[in-house]
Amino acid sequence: MTGASAAPQGPDGRRRCTWALGTPDLMAYHDTEWGLPVRTDRAMFERLSLEAFQAGLSWLTVLRKREALREAFAGFDPRTVAGYGAAEVERMLGDARLIRSRAKIEAVVGNARAALELQEGLAAFVRGQAAGPERPAPRTDADVAAATPESAALAKALKARGFRFVGPTTAYAAMQATGIVDDHLADCFRRGSRG
């Protein structure tokens, strides 16, 4: 793609990753959150949980249900969620505002319990397991990986500690969302904003 920009211009003239221009919700998420560093356990637990909910769904579906998910999962506080039992799961399965997948809901509850067992904390654990070489900036959407050796290693490490719904693709999506890797397109205005 010699001389041409891969990142399209948004309505404000800024170049953005292609996926971000689908809806105002996606653009706001891209511009204010995606790819920025996440350092707290609670924030990392939320991102891993949301990525688990996305399995088989569009990100927009998850994004639009995010506030209801936050409410149902006590702001994604791992200590609170770890105490959830059958009654809370059944309540969530009956709530049309949520993604009503028993397997995903139960995985989030189990993942909260697993997160509390990590001595160094979830955020430090994920960042430590996912470290790898810096990759070249993607020029086009085709240059963005769905999974990497690092995400496979992270998924394996999480599963070994009792986490579910954390395969290599989900782990990589979490790595992208939390600034562990910078997959903004090379000419996206957010490229390099991981801090």
Q: Catalytic residues, which ones? A: 29, 51, 59
Q: Are 174 and 59 in contact (CB under 8 A)?
A: no
The three-class DSSP label of residue 112 is helix
Q: Which helix (H) or strand (E) holds 58?
A: none
Taking each helix axis as running N to C, give the angle between helix 102-116 and helix 41-54, from 0 to 180 degrees, rounded to the nearest 10: 160
Q: What are phi and psi of 9, to 5 degrees?
A: -80, 140
Q: What is the rounded distance in angstroms from the CA atom of residue 17 to the CA atom of residue 139?
A: 10
Q: What are phi and psi of 164, to 5 degrees?
A: -125, 160
CA-to-CA separations, 44 to 12, 74, 128, 144, 188, in angstroms, rounded: 31, 14, 13, 22, 24
Q: What is the rounded distance in angstroms from the CA atom of residue 12 to the CA atom of residue 73?
A: 35
